[in-house]
């Protein structure tokens, strides 16, 4: 067998798929990522089904979920004859006569995804004899993946030690420049491996009023205290940055929506215990979204929460005033709500 071109995982996967398609002639060969409830296509060879990279399926509906769980064979020359495959939700959407699938694993043996193939027609029973060849290709790809992820983890350790130019002098966190760099770097990795990720934004309420009434030093103390609370309530792998005067960002990789909600809940409770008033927003990544888009979505949620809090406060003030005195509709004496 010819060696797949390139030494990185993506290039090796593309080369392997081209080889396997020429060897077996199936309509479609894919390398997929099993991430949470989804099976996401990383690389594809063949256009019979119109499936392209970043197409996603429900993992529970896929043939690969049954194969990986040991409920069905790795090669099914006649897919309809295998009950576990015949009942799969994916099979009800497209015409598939034969299937090949083997796991791709991390170094510790945990499931990363699959190397799999579909054909619209049943195939000769003799293809079962070629399972060792397909498994050898999958083992090679898993080895390339493990080496690449080790290198990525080593790079991350260096990347998360910010330079002086990327350090916020008040909190020692990443500053906006460092945050932008991390979004770009990790965004590319999310695209390459379809990693799950989330962004949480936290914006202090009332910092301007504290600075004006108690002085800049009091505001600085609040910012430093907030930074400590955030760092204590995220995972070691998460990135915390100070993005502006009163705004903080948290980048979590990996992190599905459930993980993101759990961490955001811890942060809210910790801020409340510390007596810190803040608004927060969160967005979790799906294959079609880039990290920059997550930031925009989280920002919108955070400002929506801040606006709702201001409106509730204003309504409460007006109710209290209306019970004590009445102003004319065109009066200049309506209370100002101020800016947080």
pLDDT in tens, 213-249: 898 999 999 999 999 999 999 999 899 999 999 999 9
Judge if the upstream peptide bond of residue 116 is cis by omega within 30 degrees of 0.
no
CATH of domain 161-323: 3.30.70.270
3-state helix, strand, coil in the chain (%, to 5): 50, 20, 30
Burial class (CB in 10 A: 0-12, 13-18, 19+), 279: buried
Nearest to 9 by CA among 163, 193, 241, 209: 193
Whole-prediction pTM: 0.80
- Evaluate whether 202 touches 250 at the Cβ level (below 8 Å): yes
Q: How many other CB atoms are found less than 10 A from the CB of residue 145?
A: 22
Q: How many residues does the chain have?
A: 340
According to the model, what pLDDT value does residue 151 have? 94
In percent, the amount of the chain with pLDDT more than 90 equals: 64
Cα–Cα distance, 217 to 271 (Å, whole number): 20
According to the model, what pLDDT value does residue 314 have? 58
Given a cut of 60, whether residue 212 has pLDDT beyond it is yes
* Mean of pLDDT values over 199-209: 92
Given a cut of 60, whether residue 329 has pLDDT beyond it is no
Given a cut of 80, whether residue 288 has pLDDT beyond it is no
* Mean of pLDDT values over 256-285: 93
- Is the model more confident about 158 or about 238? 238
What's 9-153's CATH class?
alpha beta
Cα–Cα distance, 152 to 212 (Å, whole number): 46
The domains of the chain are located at 9-153, 161-323
Nearest to 229 by CA among 197, 182, 277: 277
* Mean of pLDDT values over 132-150: 97
Cα–Cα distance, 268 to 274 (Å, whole number): 10
Residue 38: beta bridge partners? Answer: 35, 58
- What residues contact 262, with CB distance under 8 A and at least 6 apart? none
Cα–Cα distance, 198 to 291 (Å, whole number): 8
Residue pLDDT, tens place only, 99-135? 999 999 999 999 999 999 999 999 999 999 999 999 9
Beta-strand ranges (E) seen in the chain are: 28-35, 38-45, 56-58, 75-76, 98-105, 111-119, 198-204, 239-242, 247-252, 278-284
Strand order in the sheet with 56-58: 56-58, 38-45, 28-35, 111-119, 98-105, 75-76
- Evaluate whether 43 touches 167 at the Cβ level (below 8 Å): no
Of 34-38, 228-232, 323-327, the range with the lowest mean pLDDT is: 323-327
* Mean of pLDDT values over 22-37: 94
pLDDT band at 321 (very low <50, low <70, confident <90, very high): low
pLDDT band at 323 (very low <50, low <70, confident <90, very high): low
pLDDT band at 310 (very low <50, low <70, confident <90, very high): confident
Given a cut of 90, whether residue 148 has pLDDT beyond it is yes
Cα–Cα distance, 216 to 171 (Å, whole number): 15
Helix (H, G, I), strand (E, B) or coil at 248: strand
Q: Extract the tokens encoding 44.
A: 């594809």
Given a cut of 50, whether residue 328 has pLDDT beyond it is no
Residue 284: beta bridge partners? Answer: 198
- Evaluate whether 317 touches 335 at the Cβ level (below 8 Å): yes
Question: How far is CA 83 from each of CA 58, 80, 96, 202, rounded to the nearest angstrom?
Answer: 19, 7, 14, 50
Strand 28-35 to 111-119 pairing? antiparallel
Q: What is the mean pLDDT of the chain?
A: 88
Given a cut of 80, whether residue 93 has pLDDT beyond it is no
Rg (CA), the chain: 26
According to the model, what pLDDT value does residue 102 have? 98
According to the model, what pLDDT value does residue 322 have? 55
pLDDT band at 292 (very low <50, low <70, confident <90, very high): confident
Q: For 31, phi and psi rounded to 5 degrees?
A: -110, 125
- Evaluate whether 241 touches 173 at the Cβ level (below 8 Å): yes
Given a cut of 80, whether residue 287 has pLDDT beyond it is no
- What residues contact 146, with CB distance under 8 A and at least 6 apart? 106, 107
């Amino acid at each position: 067998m010819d060696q797949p071109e390139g030494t990185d995982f993506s290039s090796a996967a593309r080369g392997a798929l081209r080889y396997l398609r020429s060897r077996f002639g199936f309509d479609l060969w894919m390398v997929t990522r099993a991430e949470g409830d989804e099976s996401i296509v990383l690389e594809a060879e063949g256009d019979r089904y119109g499936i392209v990279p970043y197409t996603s399926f429900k993992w529970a509906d896929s043939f690969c979920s049954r194969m990986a769980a040991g409920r069905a064979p790795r090669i099914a020359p006649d897919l309809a004859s295998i009950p576990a495959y015949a009942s799969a939700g994916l099979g009800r959407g497209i015409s598939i006569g034969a299937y090949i699938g083997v796991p791709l694993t991390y170094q510790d043996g945990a499931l990363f995804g699959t190397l799999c193939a579909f054909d619209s027609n049943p195939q000769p029973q003799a293809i079962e004899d070629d399972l060792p060849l397909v498994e050898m290709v999958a083992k090679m790809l898993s080895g390339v993946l493990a080496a690449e992820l080790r290198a990525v983890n080593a790079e991350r350790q260096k990347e998360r030690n910010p330079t002086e130019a990327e350090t916020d002098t008040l909190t020692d966190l990443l500053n906006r420049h460092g945050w932008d760099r991390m979004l770009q770097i990790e965004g590319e990795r999310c695209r390459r491996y379809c990693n799950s990720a989330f962004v949480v934004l936290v914006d202090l309420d009332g910092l301007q009023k504290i600075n004006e009434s108690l002085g800049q030093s009091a505001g600085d103390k609040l910012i430093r205290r907030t930074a400590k609370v955030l760092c204590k309530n995220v995972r070691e792998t998460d990135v915390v940055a100070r993005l502006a005067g009163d705004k903080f960002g948290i980048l979590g990789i990996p992190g599905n929506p459930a993980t993101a909600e759990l961490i955001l809940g811890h942060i809210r409770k910790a801020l409340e215990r510390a007596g810190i008033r803040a608004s927060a927003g969160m967005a979790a990544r799906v294959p079609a979204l880039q990290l920059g888009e997550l930031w925009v979505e989280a920002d919108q949620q955070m400002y929506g929460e801040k606006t709702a809090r201001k409106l509730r406060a204003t309504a409460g003030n007006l109710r209290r005033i209306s019970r004590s005195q009445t102003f004319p509709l065109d009066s200049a004496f309506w209370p100002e709500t101020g800016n947080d």
